[in-house]
Amino acid sequence: MTQDSRLKTLDYLYCAVDKQKRITIFNNRKLKIRKKGGVGNIMEITITSNYDEMSKVSAQLIAQEIQRKHDIVLGLATGDTPVGTYKELVKIHKEEGLDFSKVKSFNLDEYLGLAPLHKNSYNYFMWENLFKHININPENVYIPQGNIKDPEQFCIWYEEQIKKVGGIDLQVLGIGRDGHIGFNEPGSSFASRTRIKALYKQTIEDNARFFDKMEDVPRFAITIGIGTIMEAEKILLIANGKNKADVCAKFIEGPVTSQITASALQLHSYVNVVLDKDAASKLKRTEYYNWVRDNKHLIQKEIGR
């Protein structure tokens, strides 16, 4: 079997999307995305029974990548969704010695105007929920600085730092109810880079729960762009809860559109989506995703591994 036909087999077995999308993904890979070649191109959907299981499965996936490459470059997300994943990672670090000493991390975004020590800043969130509990070197932690004097210059610098370390190996993402990843709100260009973005009304309302008053919720943020996210070697998106069900169905099974920026992931060559059953409740092809996940051994047998 030639390398190309092996890849084709995998595309057909793994890509949990309809025919048209499969063709788009395959063509796209041929054109540009598969930088390193080899088998293993996937968009795999894992449906877990609840938030705790989603957190465990996603933490295991991250831990495996860290064990595979000790100096991995992680892209990290904030929000309620990854709190459990980070807790699990801390547990793996403490109980099994998962080593973060060589890991580098770049956070997706930060509210414009918030100082790093502000209790609602994403910087504060990351240190509270993950960094202060593991052995990461603070010099290897990159988080956009919300109160920087020249944010535009900062965005250029941030992109340069990502390039300097050779790009992101594993990008962890949550998803907003309007389909955003990072703070790439509807209509964001798929080629976008780190920049300042005005927040969508729904996002401002959703984030109001963390602030004392509605007026305190920032209207702008610094965010890595869709173009930057799409250059990550691997992507892991996690989502839970009924309030994410509509958007998960749209970004996984709907058309690729800048109106749901997470749908750009359909064009990426290696995406793991881990959902709890509530977030997966509006997907149409659940049975298929479960079958593919449970029958990986058949795929491996098919391709002779």
Residues that are catalytic: 109, 178, 180, 185
Amino acid at 29: R
Q: For ligand GLP, which is the closer residue by CB, 74 or 77?
A: 77
Question: In angstroms, rounded to a whole number, what is the distance separating the alpha carbons of residues 110 and 116?
Answer: 9
The residue (of 109 and 253) whose beta carbon lies closer to ligand GLP is 109
Return the number of the residue (78 or 266) whose C-beta is nearest ligand GLP: 78
Contacts of 284 (CB under 8 A, 6+ apart): 249, 253
Q: Provide the Cα torsion 101, 63, 276, 302; round to 10°.
A: 150
Residues binding ligand GLP (CB under 6 A): 77-81, 108-109, 174-176, 182-183, 203
* Residue 41 or 188 with smaller CB distance to ligand GLP: 188
Among candidates 269, 271, 187, which has minimal Cα distance to 226?
187
For the bound state, the minimum distance from the C-beta of residue 175 to ligand GLP, rounded and expressed in Å, comes to 5
